[in-house]
Amino acid sequence: DVVMTQSPLSLPVTLGQPASISCRSSQSLVHSDGNTYLTWFQQRPGQSPRRLIYKVSDRDSGVPDRFSGSGSGTDFTLKISRVEAEDVGVYYCLQGTHWPWTFGQGTKVEIK
């Protein structure tokens, strides 16, 4: 199975400051169809996961543009340009290129 490794696992941030989460895969996530199926989810406390970003950098409808995704191959990043209080929660990456799909361990974002 493809191993997804996130870092850091805990990320204290100051309101209004940027934040960045890394997700690395144990093998390339480029699919034979040419797409790269790397997704980012946000899970706020007490809520179910919500998809933010799919195919590395496509933002879901309603997701603030302060969230952006980038990367290629085995190295991916989720960036929050200016952290707001509502961004507190755990963020997970998911690879959907190789079966079985696998999640990263999660990164907990909290306010300093």
Chain residues binding another protein by CB under 8 A are 31, 35, 37, 39, 41, 48-51, 54-55, 60, 90, 92, 94-97, 99-106
Which residue number, 71 or 104, has a Cβ lying nearer to another protein? 104
Which residue number, 16 or 37, has a Cβ lying nearer to another protein? 37
Going by the DSSP 8-state scheme, the letter that residue 87 receives in this structure is G
3-class SS of residue 84: coil
Q: Which two tokens stand for residue 38?
A: 């790397």
Provide the minimum distance between the beta carbon of 47 and another protein in the complex, in angstroms, as a whole number: 8
Which residue number, 87 or 95, has a Cβ lying nearer to another protein? 95
Work out the end-to-end distance of the chain between its first and last CA atoms, rounded to an integer number of angstroms.
36
3-class SS of residue 46: coil
